[in-house]
Amino acid sequence: MKEKKFTFIDLFAGCGGLSEGFLQTGKFEGIAHVEWESPMINTLRQRLIDKWGHTEVDAKKRVIKFDVQKTDELIHGNWSEETRKTYEKENHTDIVEGGLEALVNGRPVDLIIGGPPCQAYSIAGRAQSPTGMKDDYRNYLFESFVKIVDHFKPKAFVFENVPGLLSACPGDTPVRVRIYEAFKAIGYNIRTPESLKNSVYCAEDYDVPQKRNRIIIIGTKHDSDFDTEEFYESLTARKSKSPHKTVRDAIGNMPKLTPKAKVEKIGRSNVSHEQLEGDTIDLHIPRYHGERDQKLFTEWLANSMNKFSQKEKMDFYTKITGHTSKHIKYRNIEWDKPSPTVVAHLHKDGYMFIHPDIEQLRTITIREAALLQSFPLDYKFVASNPYCYKMIGNAVPVLFAKGIAEAMYDVLISK
């Protein structure tokens, strides 16, 4: 007997971490994946073609490039003249006539999954904003998620975000309260604002080699056979019984990239490192690190400076650069521990992700960042190097997503 597959729509799909985890179970079919930024769109489409057997035409239909804030337009496909002109201007010929409704085509949507961009909820983001991000439109993107849930009435939904959502308070009403009230108004149960703090899970408990805490908000219809707590119990039961995966588990076998005797100019780029042996691996290319960086990494690693006090680390930054900072600027990942949270800031620099091998004197590569996020080695990222770091840092770790998917399936199939 063929195993039943449940359907899902992925909103704010990014480069596909959440979708990939659900698809890897073999128990779900993605009807549609909605994203706005082209590099992520191109990456996810490529993955559907390379791995999941979709034609180019089908992948273009399913992965919709669109601004989720224009929710009614997205659902019904009643594209405005402005939308059509935008597609023409960007040379996109893949506008989906009929929108999400046409893709769904009357089939039941079992799940809606996704997570609005998390920067607006993050404590780090608020610390850098003079208004605490009160005016950031991203604080309200969950409203588009709610509207799409309301329209398609899935059996359940999964809303993933940063734990900072619990304390975010734009417009003087806590986001967690806004979210609770919004879902209640359309007939869906989620945990109360007070108990949402119990919905924080760590990716390292799902075989991801990374400490990455995320809030998982699961919702079910008021009148359904499903109880929200059943899904949480299933998710907790899915935690791995094995020791946590480490940086060594993820990238310990990657080919070494060691400093060249002399910096070489190749085209417009300065090249500081080389790979002397092993297979060539896509996107396993180090950033340029000149003499100052290499001396910095040598001293940092030789003195195990991760263990130093915050003041000593900040003093070290001042000694190296002559500047002062209120924040720690350097950190190395450690072989026998999970990685710290992989972040989108990697697109700017990698100094908080110094490679642990003192022979290599570099920060991590794009491919290493992806492996720490548990993306498969054959996952292609279709973007500039900085944007690859950014999309990987913003993604849901694949194995964490797979654990969520398995947990959701266990409850769905039980009914």
What is the pLDDT, as a whole number, of residue 173?
A: 87
Tell me, what's the pLDDT at 151? 98
Q: Residue 299 has what pLDDT?
A: 98
Please report the sign of the dihedral spanned by the C-alpha atoms of residue 7, residue 10, residue 16, residue 18: negative
Phi, psi of 219 (to 5 degrees): -130, 150
- Determine the Cα–Cα distance for residues 377 and 369; give it in Å rounded to an integer: 11
The pLDDT, as a whole number, for residue 91 is 59
As given in the structure block, the two tokens for residue 218 are: 């699961």
Q: Which residues of 45-79 are buried (b: 16+ CB within 10 A; e: fewer)?
A: bbbbbebbebeeeebbbbbbbbebeebebbbebeb
In the chain, residues under CATH classification 3.40.50.150 are 6-245+394-414
* Closest of 22, 67, 4 to residue 157, by C-alpha: 22
Q: At what angle do helices 310-321 and 291-302 cross, to 10 degrees?
A: 160
| Architecture of the 6-245+394-414 domain | 3-Layer(aba) Sandwich (3.40)
Q: Which amino acid is at 4?
A: K
> Would you state the structure tokens that stand for residue 41, as one six-digit string?
């769109």
Residue 121's pLDDT is what?
Answer: 54
Q: pLDDT of the chain along its 415 residues, tens only?
A: 567 899 999 999 999 999 999 999 999 999 999 999 999 999 999 999 999 999 999 999 999 999 999 999 999 988 888 887 877 766 555 677 789 999 999 999 999 999 888 555 544 543 455 554 454 444 468 999 999 999 999 999 999 999 999 988 877 789 999 999 999 999 999 999 999 999 999 999 999 999 999 999 999 999 899 999 999 999 999 999 999 999 999 999 999 999 999 999 988 889 999 999 999 999 999 999 999 999 999 999 999 999 999 999 999 999 999 999 999 999 999 999 999 999 999 999 999 999 999 999 999 999 999 999 999 999 999 999 999 999 999 999 999 999 999 999 999 999 8
- Residue 313, token pair as written in the block: 């680390």
Is 118 a known active-site residue? Answer: yes
Which residues sit opposite 258 in a β-bridge?
A: 274
φ, ψ (nearest 5 deg) of residue 155: -60, -35
The rounded distance, in Å, linking the Cα atoms of 59 and 55 is 6
73/95 Cα distance (integer angstroms): 12
Q: What is the pLDDT at residue 266?
A: 87
Q: What is the pLDDT of residue 117?
A: 80
pLDDT, position 13:
97
Write a three-state SS string for the chain: CCCCCEEEEEECCCCCHHHHHHHHCCCEEEEEEEECCHHHHHHHHHHHHHCCCCCHHHHHHHEEECCCCCHHHHHHCCCCHHHHHHHHHCCCCCCCCCHHHHHHCCCCCCEEEECCCCCCCCHHHHHCCCCCCCCCHHHHCHHHHHHHHHHHCCCEEEEEECHHHHCCCHHHCCHHHHHHHHHHHCCEECCCCCCHHHHEEEHHHHCCCECCEEEEEEEEECCCCCCHHHHHHHHHHCCCCCCCCCHHHHHCCCCCCEEEEEEEEECCEEEEEECCCCCCCCCCCCCCCCHHHHHHHHHHHHCCHHHCCHHHHHHHHHHHHCCCCCCCCCCECCCCCCECCCCHHHHCCCCCCECCCCCCCCECCHHHHHHHCCCCCCCCCCCCHHHHHHHHHHCCCHHHHHHHHHHHHHHHHHC
Rounded to two decimals, the pTM is 0.94
Q: Which of 15, 118, 202, 388 is catalytic?
A: 118
Beta strands 111-114; 156-161: pairing state? parallel
78-110: per-residue pLDDT in tens?
888 888 787 776 655 567 778 999 999 999 999
* CA-to-CA dists, residue 52 to 58, 165, 205, angstroms: 11, 33, 27
Q: Residue 243's CB: how many other CB atoms inside 10 A?
A: 7
Task: Quote the pLDDT of residue 137.
Answer: 41
- pLDDT value for 130: 52
Q: Are strands 28-35 and 6-11 parallel, antiparallel or unpaired?
A: parallel
Q: What pLDDT, in 10s, does the model give residues 379-395?
A: 999 999 999 999 999 99
